[in-house]
Amino acid sequence: MSFSFSIPTRVEFGSGICSRVGEILKPYVKQKVLVVSDYGVRQAGILREVEDSLQHYKISYEIFDKVEANPSTQILTQGIKYLEMHQCDTVLGVGGGSSIDTAKGIAAMATNPGSILDYEGINKIKNQPLPILAIPTTSGTGAEVTASAVFTNKDTLFKTVIMSTFLFPKVAILDPLLTLKLPSSITAATGMDALTHAIESYTSKSSNFVSKSLAIQAIKLIGESLLRAYYVGTDIASREKMLMASMMAGMAFSQSRLGNVHAISHTFGGIFNIPHGIANATLLPYVMEFNLLACQSEMKDIAIALGADVASLTLEKAAEQAITEVIKINEAIGIPKTIKELGVDLELLPRMILDSMRSPNTLSNPRITTANDIKQIIEGAYHGNFQKINFIEKGREYYVL
């Protein structure tokens, strides 16, 4: 029961709270804030309310909207130059995980020498970054409450993970109204990203009682609300639950780290530029199956949290039911069944194995993982083969044989 737990981020949550952005940010801004976002968020008008509030509180700002999916070190360099040119002293990320990660990177590199790639690993950033603030517009990454950021090195196609307590935002502002207009495809991808975070955190070897409590509650909220958010996007209750779940999953894995899904999916993002949430969702059942023997009790808990009735099942069968529930959700929201459908090319398998094993997430995966294990998971996910469990499909239901 010995553990350390720290979340220094202040959270402000509520529908319509974006109207108070200027009030909340004002204590952190001396001269000017840099708003970091992407072109899509800006074109959708999501930044308008943020700008209105900043103007109301007479806070000077500039907007950098060049963020891309799977953000690269090149875009980060542009953002740093933009911040320096406009003499901003605070950074606000508005958008999905890519925008918030880019905001973190800009803030960190404004006060630290060299390249962001020099800080790969855990707690290597030496100097306190500029104040970081975050407003998520999707319910997936939980980046607004995490101590990590991920950037793609386009020269090597490797997604570099930087973890540092300095990267926790000072304030996270969560407004469910910002997620109401999300396309169903983004709702699916980001929702499954959040579920993957929660499941991998709950089963992580580095988890503790508090992180597990956050993770299992996030799983329950996602089980209750993801399908409705996907099919009835304007339902504010489901959007609130999804945004809360995403945040709670982020809090959980900021303490526990993740597992093999993220170790592998980061390579897919780097090499093939596959969207992170979709890669996670497609891989998740295969990694859960690999991990079954190492965390049967936790898998049973996950099955129950997702709404499965396991009262009459053995522990082994109840644990397997967790995989069934994830497969059912994936199918209902249009997630591909195999990574072949995502564009993964097995000719690059040796490279994928090498990059996956470089990830620190393999160390917190519940089952000890070797390079050969990564190979089998990727091959299984490519061909749609499970190693030990067979599923039969009846209509929209799956049953464990």
Domain boundaries defined on the chain:
10-179, 184-400
Q: Which structure tokens are listed for 49?
A: 């309310």
**E-state strands within 111-157:** 121-122, 132-136, 148-153
* pLDDT for 401: 54
From CA 313, how far away is CA 267, in angstroms rounded?
Answer: 37
If pLDDT is split at 50, 70 and 90, which confidence band does 299 have? very high
From CA 122, how far away is CA 120, in angstroms rounded?
Answer: 7
Residue 395: pLDDT above 70?
Answer: no
- Identical topology for domains 10-179 and 184-400: no
pLDDT tens digit string along 264-277? 999 999 999 999 99
% pLDDT > 70, the chain? 96
Average pLDDT over residues 57-70: 94
pLDDT tens digit string along 81-97? 999 999 999 999 999 99
Taking the domain 10-179, which CATH number applies? 3.40.50.1970
Beta-sheet pairing, 391-394 with 397-400: antiparallel
Taking the domain 184-400, which CATH number applies? 1.20.1090.10
Residue 127: pLDDT above 70?
Answer: yes
From CA 19, how far away is CA 55, in angstroms rounded?
Answer: 11
Residue 393: pLDDT above 70?
Answer: no
Q: Which structure tokens are listed for 18?
A: 């974006």
If pLDDT is split at 50, 70 and 90, which confidence band does 3 have? confident
* pLDDT for 152: 87
From CA 150, how far away is CA 163, in angstroms rounded?
Answer: 9
331 residue type, one letter: E
**Of 376, 360, 111, the residue nearest 258 (C-alpha):** 360
Q: Which structure tokens are listed for 239?
A: 């959007």
10 Å Cβ neighbour count for 3? Answer: 12
Quote the mean pLDDT of the chain: 94
**Of 292, 300, 149, the residue nearest 309 (C-alpha):** 300
Q: What is the DSSP letter of 240?
A: H
If pLDDT is split at 50, 70 and 90, which confidence band does 69 have? confident
Residue 398: pLDDT above 80?
Answer: no
Kindly give the interhelix angle for 276-291 and 315-332, rounded to the nearest 10 degrees. Answer: 160
Residue 394: pLDDT above 70?
Answer: no
